[in-house]
Structure 1
Amino acid sequence: MNSSYNENFAKLFLRLFVGILFLLHGYAKLKYGTSFIESVLEKNNLPQYLVYGVYIGEVIAPIFLIIGYYTKTFSLIIIINILFAIYLVHPSEIFSLSSHGGLALELQYFYIFTSLLIILIGPGKFSLDEK
């Protein structure tokens, strides 16, 4: 196997990994609703229609990431989604440590930096973006 082939498979696996894991967050919103997010928006005096951004960021964006279509755009949308979540729900935990010694928001940082990595390295040949 050549290096280019391995590199493209690595990009595919990264997209699948991030997309599937983040889609599970969206699935929870579809199954259980968005009442928590609606209450957070209300508490922060933000319009309720912003709740639809959760569906874009946690359902549509991961699906497009998985299939590799407009990959960089939807990776950016995932990053924006997470930054909003941090701002609205976790602002006091940005540099906090958990009781286990890791960062309290390490999962959020994981999604931010892996999505940023996808933006930087591109989707790879096994995507709809690559023709």
Structure 2
Amino acid sequence: MAKTFAQSLLGRPGYSNGVSLVLLILRVVVGIAFMYHGWGKIQQPLSWNSPESPLAIPAIFQLLAAVSEFGGGIALVLGLVTPIAAFGIAVTMAVAVYMHAVIFKQPFVDMAGGPSFELALVYLAIALVLMVIGPGKYSIDYRLFTPKARH
């Protein structure tokens, strides 16, 4: 039987219970964090960037960041369209890393507690892991898109 595109992207059999539990914990923790990060942005999705900011971010990119953070956070918690949600978060975090490291010239870690790009890079790495590995057994993706014989 040929796999559909959704099954190829979202249905990944072969997870152990331990790996699935760790992926569930990772998804929930990171998903909740992104829901918090995106909450203020989703309230004003086209204008959350302060006019006093040194960078003018076009409204469409503000919208994409708000949706990828808030909506992506919800999707990660549920394990729903996980690779797509993780991709949106990865792109948003790649831009954040670039802004902090290259534009603002902030360090990877500021030992004095100042701004840095550490957290954005960690979130980028987690998003890449979830894109490649998937959500695990304890997810909506697994229930909907993994062939029944492989559950």
Q: TM-score scaled to structure 2, two decimals?
A: 0.69
The structural deviation recorded for 1:107 is 0.7
Amino acid at match of 2:93: I
Over residues 85-127 of structure 1, what are the superposed CA-to-partner deviations in whole Å (9 max), with x where a residue is unaligned? 3445652336454143898211111110111111222100111
Over residues 14-38 of structure 1, what are the superposed CA-to-partner deviations in whole Å (9 max), with x where a residue is unaligned? 1111111111111233458775526
Q: Does the C-alpha gap of structure 1 residues 81 and 41 become closer, same or farther in structure 2, counting only changes over 3 Å?
A: farther
Moved more, 95-104 or 108-117: 95-104
SS at match of 1:39: coil
1:41-52 alignment, distance < 5 Å:
43-44=55-56, 47-52=58-63
Matched with 1:37 is 49
Any stretches of 5+ residues in structure 2 without a counterpart? 1-14, 144-151
Matched with 2:10 is none
Any stretches of 5+ residues in structure 1 without a counterpart? none
Matched with 2:12 is none
Tell me if 1:127 matches 2:139. yes
Over residues 50-87 of structure 1, what are the superposed CA-to-partner deviations in whole Å (9 max), with x where a residue is unaligned? 32112211111111111111101110100111222344
**CA distance in structure 1 between the aligned counterparts of 2:29 and 2:136, rounded to whole angstroms:** 14
Q: Report the identity percentage.
A: 27
SS at match of 1:93: coil
Amino acid at match of 1:28: G
- Partner residue of 1:23 out of 35, 60, 63: 35
Q: Superposition RMSD on alpha carbons, in Å? A: 3.1
Matched with 1:77 is 88
Return the structure number with greater helix share. 1
Amino acid at match of 2:23: K
**CA distance in structure 2 between the aligned counterparts of 1:76 and 1:40, rounded to whole angstroms:** 29
Q: TM-score scaled to structure 1, two decimals?
A: 0.77
**CA distance in structure 2 between the aligned counterparts of 1:40 and 1:110, rounded to whole angstroms:** 28
Q: Name the larger-Rg structure.
A: 2
- Partner residue of 1:67 out of 43, 53, 78: 78
